[in-house]
Amino acid sequence: MFPFVRDGNLDVVIVAGPHITCWPSIGVRTLSSICSASGLSVGIFGGPELMVKGVLPLHQTGGILFIEDTQKRIHRLHARSVIKIADKIQFPLPFEGWHCEGLILLSTIEALNKTVLLNWTPRVVILGTSNGALRFGSFLLNSKSTSEVICLETFLQWGAKRYEGWETEKRRFEILDGKIVEGRPLSLTKKTTQTWEFVVQTGADKKSFEVSRVVSAGSFYKNNGIKEYPPGSLLFELEQTASHTPENNMEGWTLEEKRATMLGLRVSKALSTESGSKKKENQYLFKKAKIQLKNIFDHQDKPWSPTYHGKWLSKGDMRLLKSFSGVPQKAHYFRPIATIECFENIPCNLCEKACPEGAIRLTKDRDSVLTEPKCTGCGICLTICPSQSIALVHEKENNSISEITLPPQGSFDFKGGDSITLLNRRGESLESGKVLAHQLTLPLIRIGVPTHLLWETRGYKKNSVAQENELLEPKTTTQKTTVVLNGEKRLMQNEILVSAALFEMNQHRVSDNLLCQDASCGLCVLTIDGTKKMACQTKVRPQMQIKFPEVPQTNQSQSSPKPSDIVLCPCTGLTINEVLERIQNSKVKSPEALFSALKISEGRCHGLICREPLKQIFMEKHMDVSEWIDWHFPWSDWKLSRFC
């Protein structure tokens, strides 16, 4: 019997759901601040020290939480409101071969990049065109990890746009020679030990790509980020979109902060007794956050898509560009000046905060305004802009050569006097330019360009001859140690997580894909030195004995499966065909009842893999999922008898 070391009451409890990597995030801090300011008692539980095992909903509102600490002691808390912070796990709508080692989550890749070096040749396909997808594609191209990156847009319903992310991120991706393709995944098949064949439907045609792997980035559906289960229960789920710092993901940071503001004010209104002035203040803050949240997606309804005549920006768009408030309106012949070419209304103000002279400000509509007399051309704004949409231009009067200063692009080591190829905003080659110098104090490159190309040039690359066979080399030499993997001696990087080492060796399993690092999914079980352990929790050490669990043999047909036979839930073996048959033949037509009947979330991953794809199938069958209660209790394995 495990005694309760705490049995208390709180007004609001904020807990970390499974697979959360950033804790506490900006959303958690915002929620705590708003609720505390309203006089509510708030508890925050998450991370390896205090793991929430589950919540039992109460009859009307709130719930009872069971929390386990590092000493396996149990804490039981009663909360009037529970807010679960949920990770944004992006699996695509299942297709043939989707659940395999060749498809990896972007969040998993980002975690692996901190410790291991992965192979990305010959090419990579990224599913989705979000800012995260475009940034990762730019990273691969910038670091010369691979020669080709394709972002596949499968959703195609982003307001007036044909892609999800910002125009600035798309521009940066295309300058680096990235490609965006619209289509639908059909199949992913293993070709060699290092490559996969990925087949895509693009219009009436099918295209086949030989890829090192497919990265699932999303987004594959729209989500308002806040759910209540059921309405009026004060049991909420807030989607985590922020990273540790805003510089890494300004959109996700702002999105989570504004959603948390609205949710915190909503909870405060329901639980606290607000006075007249405090009530009016909270109403104003709620309305303001709602408007700001709506404005975050303005770029999807009012996109800026420049048109070209050949390689040249059209005259109309060039006039529009030069009339933008962030672009210098006068010629500055004697000094460089910043040009801020961020034309969409996006939630980013990093350049405004970074400018030491206060020369950059954002209007109420989030348009950048450059105060030209204040700009000294220091270049700090160039280094802080995550989308590289700022440049320093120095137009020289009556001179055939002018200067442009840009951030580093690629892993090239340029020197003064090097000849380079100038690129337009789509990554197309224009003409040759010359590197004049590196900035001494900032990572910037000053380039001499023909004056008539000053407003066309926004990128550069090494001349084609110099780029041949130039791939990313390991920056550091890692210490390897000998381990025994399934009876064979192998070299693994010492003192890293076993799951990361398996990815580096290309020996990872499908069950390692989530890489949750908190053991919440329970999928990555291994036998290590005779004991069952989690690969995401165990570090590599010398002479370690690692053995994969035996996979039961099945008598599956060797022929290619039909689309209707595609597995939807890998944990239970549920197929899309079974789901469609249940929808067609069942008398129960509500998503909640079908969700329960299909036993989704009863597998080992508790629905992390299959819940959203199932939701998409319901939507395709014209079922109303607007109030679908898909948050289950608990979300990790535990026995109720242990806590009672």
**The pLDDT of residue 516 is above 80:** no
Range 382-393 average pLDDT:
92
Domain boundary among 467, 490, 511: 467
Q: Are the CB atoms for 448 and 463 separated by under 8 Å?
A: no
Q: What residue type is 444 in one-letter code?
A: L
Q: What is the pLDDT of residue 252?
A: 92
Separation CA 492–CA 506 (nearest Å): 11
**The pLDDT of residue 3 is above 60:** no
Q: Are the CB atoms for 349 and 247 separated by under 8 Å?
A: no
Separation CA 95–CA 93 (nearest Å): 7
Q: What is the pLDDT of residue 476?
A: 47
Lowest mean pLDDT among 57-61, 269-273, 582-586: 582-586
Q: What residue type is 156 in one-letter code?
A: L
Q: What are phi and psi of 489, to 5 degrees?
A: -75, 130
**The pLDDT of residue 477 is above 80:** no
Structure tokens that stand for 476 in this block: 């550091």
Residue 93 lies in a domain: no
Reported as a pLDDT band with limits 50, 70 and 90, residue 265 is very high
Alpha carbon of 536 to those of 26, 74, 210, 540: distances in Å?
25, 23, 30, 11
Q: What DSSP string describes 152-180?
A: EE----BTTBSSSS-HHHHHHHHHTT-EE
Q: What is the pLDDT of residue 5?
A: 54
Residue-wise pLDDT tens digits, 19-53: 888 899 999 999 999 999 999 999 999 877 888 88
- Tell which phi-psi region holds residue 494, choosing left (phi > 0), alpha (psi between -120 and 50) or beta: beta
Q: What is the pLDDT of residue 557?
A: 41
Domain boundary among 166, 189, 216: 216
Q: What is the pLDDT of residue 572?
A: 79
Q: What is the pLDDT of residue 174?
A: 92
Reported as a pLDDT band with limits 50, 70 and 90, residue 478 is low
Residue-wise pLDDT tens digits, 404-420: 999 987 766 778 888 99
Whether residue 463 sits in one domain with residue 320: yes
Separation CA 300–CA 296 (nearest Å): 9
Whether residue 180 sits in one domain with residue 37: no
Higher pLDDT, 601 or 263: 263
Reported as a pLDDT band with limits 50, 70 and 90, residue 472 is very low
Alpha carbon of 370 to those of 167, 325, 331, 442, 527: distances in Å?
20, 6, 14, 21, 61
Whether residue 570 sits in one domain with residue 634: yes
Residue 486 lies in a domain: yes
Separation CA 376–CA 397 (nearest Å): 19
Q: What residue type is 264 in one-letter code?
A: G
Domain boundary among 467, 494, 523: 467
Q: What DSSP string describes 61-115?
A: S-EEEEEEETT--EEEEEEEEEEEEEE---PPSP-BT-SSTTEEEHHHHHHHTTT
**The pLDDT of residue 390 is above 50:** yes
Separation CA 594–CA 585 (nearest Å): 11
Helix axes 576-585, 611-620, angle to 10 degrees: 50
**CB-count burial class (<10 Å; 0-12, 13-18, 19+) for 145:** buried
Separation CA 510–CA 518 (nearest Å): 17
Whether residue 409 sits in one domain with residue 319: yes
Q: What is the pLDDT of residue 429?
A: 92
Whether residue 344 sits in one domain with residue 451: yes
Instruction: Report the SS3 class of residue 432.
Output: strand
Percent of the chain having pLDDT more than 70?
90
Higher pLDDT, 450 or 47: 450
Residue 556 lies in a domain: no
Highest averaged pLDDT of the listed ranges 179-183, 343-347, 602-606: 179-183
Reported as a pLDDT band with limits 50, 70 and 90, residue 79 is very high
Higher pLDDT, 103 or 465: 103
> Given the DSSP bridges, would you call strands 360-362 and 368-370 parallel, antiparallel or unpaired?
antiparallel
Residue 95 lies in a domain: no
Range 347-351 average pLDDT:
91
**What CATH number did the domain enclosing 488 receive?**
3.10.20.30
Whether residue 459 sits in one domain with residue 350: yes
Q: What is the pLDDT of residue 470?
A: 45
Q: Provide the mean pLDDT of the chain.
A: 85
Range 438-466 average pLDDT:
83
**The pLDDT of residue 221 is above 90:** no
Q: What is the pLDDT of residue 139?
A: 93
CA nearest to 142, candidates 426, 350, 404, 407: 407
CA nearest to 25, candidates 84, 93, 110: 84
Q: What is the pLDDT of residue 593?
A: 78
Q: How far out from the chain centre does Cα 595 lie?
A: 27
Q: What is the pLDDT of residue 630?
A: 60
Q: What is the pLDDT of residue 561?
A: 45
Whether residue 454 sits in one domain with residue 344: yes
Whether residue 206 sits in one domain with residue 76: no
| CA neighbours closer than 13 Å in the CB half-sphere of residue 336 | 20
Q: How far out from the chain centre does Cα 631 lie?
A: 21
Whether residue 456 sits in one domain with residue 568: no
Reported as a pLDDT band with limits 50, 70 and 90, residue 517 is low
Higher pLDDT, 113 or 638: 113
Separation CA 239–CA 233 (nearest Å): 18
Residue 504 lies in a domain: yes
**The pLDDT of residue 278 is above 90:** no
Whether residue 151 sits in one domain with residue 113: yes
Look-up of token digits 């929790």: 537
Lowest mean pLDDT among 14-18, 530-534, 584-588: 584-588
Report the domain count for the chain: 5
Residue 98 lies in a domain: no
Higher pLDDT, 468 or 287: 287
Residues 6+ apart with CB under 8 A from 179: 148, 149, 150, 151
Alpha carbon of 70 to those of 4, 51, 75, 267, 359: distances in Å?
14, 8, 12, 30, 51
Q: What is the pLDDT of residue 1?
A: 38
Higher pLDDT, 537 or 374: 374
Residue 368 lies in a domain: yes
Residue 474 lies in a domain: no
Q: Which domain holds residue 156?
A: 103-216
Q: What is the pLDDT of residue 571?
A: 77
Whether residue 542 sits in one domain with residue 405: no
Whether residue 314 sits in one domain with residue 288: no
